[in-house]
Structure 1
Amino acid sequence: MTEFGISFLIATAKALLGIALVQVSLRLTGRWLMRLTRRTPGDTDDQLLRSVLTTAAPIGYLSAFWWGWRSLVADVEVLNFGEGIDRMLEAAMLFLTIVLIVRLLNRVLLLLLDRSLRRLRRENQLTVLRGLEPMIRSGVWILGLLVFLQNQGVQMGAIYASLAGAGIGLGLALKGPISNFLNYLTILFDEPFRIGQFIRFDDVLGTVEGVGIRSTTIRSLSGERIVISNEDLLGKVIQNYGDLPKRRVATTIGVVYQTSLETVKAIPALVEASIRSNPPAEFDRCHFTRFADSALEFEFVYFIPDADMVLFLDVQQEINHAIMETFQKQRIEFAYPSQTLFLESAQVKTREVAMAVG
């Protein structure tokens, strides 16, 4: 057998040995990791592991082929085509490896984003993610291409400068649309409110009907349709009443100063009974807080475990009715802003002066 044949057999053996090692190691490692992932709830880690193993196999095969090829070139002088051919082959191997890694990164990134949104139950944002998939994939591919070019010795300064110039030009030309789009994404992903929730923005109080790329639509309490720019909406404070786990209600009432001490001591219990008789209200406290100018003031607090504004108003009304009814039965008078003047009669004053003189 010729020297070339022997070298070819050795290189082929090395390549096959490398492929066999890759297959055995991936199979053993895959089985061990699969047993670990089966113990965890969900299938996200299973899919991630399959994606990694699927990508690792061809990268391992390429490495085995490259090992065999370098062995053959080192033994057979005829195949030594020079540095230029070697660099081309090395670049081709690196390019294929980067392609495989970029595909893996795209799959892993989109899978993690999808599972995160599903876990947070943000189904409306899944549609946005589907629309952004081409942009995300393109961004990862561009990064992979830049890594490849930099590895090949390409002067990246000019490319970065061109990209920066193009980015500045596009940014100036598309400032308005890009700003609107970013505000839209902020509302979708940060979720300061959702469609159907009751919010307050400046003097606007109403229910969110829709969120668009440029503006948000709110149906006010009086019925009119109000359209607000997303930029203006995110630039100010938004009060979201639809995201309340429970609503805290604090109310102050006053009774007249002529109320007896026993009655004053009994008022907290009377208020508590009135609140507890109107579920789902949850009583918190009631206290005699201060001596006001024209009233003895009591503050009571209760919670309504629902964000519905109509339910809150209904329960509040029933509690107020119950307190009024209880106070009427107990002959407790509500106070109102007033002043009482105590005047002495002229006869009484004259009598007091005569007694003092006598």
Structure 2
Amino acid sequence: MSIPPFLVLALARWLGGCLAVLLLTRLLRAVLLYLASSRQHSTTEFVVRLFTSTLLPIGWLAVLVWGWDALPMAGLADQAIYAVSRLMAVVLIARLINRVFLRLADGALRRMEHPVITPEMLVGFSPMLRTVVWLFALLIYLQNEGLELGAIFAALAGAGIGLGLALQRPVENFTDYLTVLLDQPFSVGQKIRVGDVVGRVEQVGVRSTSIRSLNGQRTVMSNGDLLNATIENLTDLPRRRIVQVIGVTYDTSADQMEMIPELIRSVVESVEDAQFGRAHFISYGDFSLNVEYVFFVPDGDFDHSLDLRHRVNLKLMRCFEDKGIEFAFPTQTLHLKRTD
């Protein structure tokens, strides 16, 4: 019993194609190992992910179709195989275009000195760009399958009014999303305060923004509500100004009060990263003599400012202990008059 020639041809194509894919895989791995030995580690990682998730499946799909083409199949099964293969090819190529385009755009933006949009904005626009690529891929697939696109466009044009009403809210959400991306009142990773919510921005979506509060709670707010509220960006500061008021007892002498601003200056300047501003005896309180002082943190990191405040306060307390200056606390003095 002889094997049909078409089956031999199909098996030969499958085996030859698999061998070619395996050899190509080994060759590309050798190239990737060579790149990994250089300084292009991020590029190597990207190529590895691209190869394993897109290029390799395209190779196996091509081998499958090439072998199937040698079989004398007809009818529904043959049409289904080719339709599914074309669909898978369109999906894989659309993914490839999305990933390569976004990677190239990100690299180009990072090399530009004054880019029109920032890499962070590109991340925000990426869902829209991916959607456009997927829509074009879908239209190309439908056209190749013989579907009349003119009829679809005519139906969409006739349903334009109803579609516009149905998409009113999504369009508003998308407009708010674009406003957040273009105005950039905040970006992912920055700490903001919106009303009673204080936390770091985790994600900016088309409809809403996720904020991780300081206690770990995740708060989701719509972009429209965020834009209508007062947003305090606690990270976007060239430097942070710290104002503190301390009170000393009324037993403190005038000479000691005159000495306190210089003591504060020396303490602040002894703390690394703290920049002294001023120190003044500002008022007579109900139970204390009040001294106000100001120093600056050279960056906008809120946690760093708390650390510097802690170190300044601790050193100031030790300095006052050495000089015999006492901090005040709420007290009341009662004068009793005895009448006979």
Question: Which protein has the bigger helix share?
Answer: 1
1:1-358 aligned within 5 A: 118-119=114-115, 122-126=118-122, 128=125, 131=128, 170-344=163-337, 346=338
Provide the C-alpha distance between the structure 1 equivalents of 2:289 and 2:160, rounded to a whole number of angstroms: 68
Provide the C-alpha distance between the structure 2 equivalents of 1:280 and 1:120, rounded to a whole number of angstroms: 34
What value does the CA root-mean-square deviation take over the aligned residues?
A: 2.8
What SS does the aligned partner of 1:258 have?
coil
Provide the C-alpha distance between the structure 2 equivalents of 1:195 and 1:273, rounded to a whole number of angstroms: 38
Structure 1 position 201, deviation (Å): 0.9
Provide the C-alpha distance between the structure 1 equivalents of 2:294 and 2:117, rounded to a whole number of angstroms: 33
Deviates more, 1:303-312 or 1:125-134: 125-134
Larger Rg: 1
1:310-341: CA deviation from partner (whole Å, max 9, x where unpaired): 21111100000011101111111111122212
The count of corresponding residues between Structure 1 and Structure 2 is 206
What SS does the aligned partner of 1:213 have?
coil
What SS does the aligned partner of 2:258 have?
helix
Provide the C-alpha distance between the structure 2 equivalents of 1:188 and 1:323, rounded to a whole number of angstroms: 44
CA contact (8 A) 2:208 2:223 kept: yes
CA contact (8 A) 1:117 1:125 kept: no
Structure 1 position 214, deviation (Å): 0.5
Provide the C-alpha distance between the structure 1 equivalents of 2:320 and 2:159, rounded to a whole number of angstroms: 75
1:124-172: CA deviation from partner (whole Å, max 9, x where unpaired): 324528956999xxxxxxxxxxxxxxxxxxxxxxxxxxx9x99876543
1:185-217: CA deviation from partner (whole Å, max 9, x where unpaired): 011110000100011111111111110001111
Q: Tell me, which stretches of 5 or more residues in structure 2 are unaligned?
A: 1-108, 133-156
Provide the C-alpha distance between the structure 1 equivalents of 2:160 and 2:185, rounded to a whole number of angstroms: 30
Q: Which residue identity does 1:236 align to in structure 2?
A: A
CA contact (8 A) 1:117 1:126 kept: no
| TM-score normalized by the length of structure 1 | 0.53
- Identity over aligned pairs, percent: 45
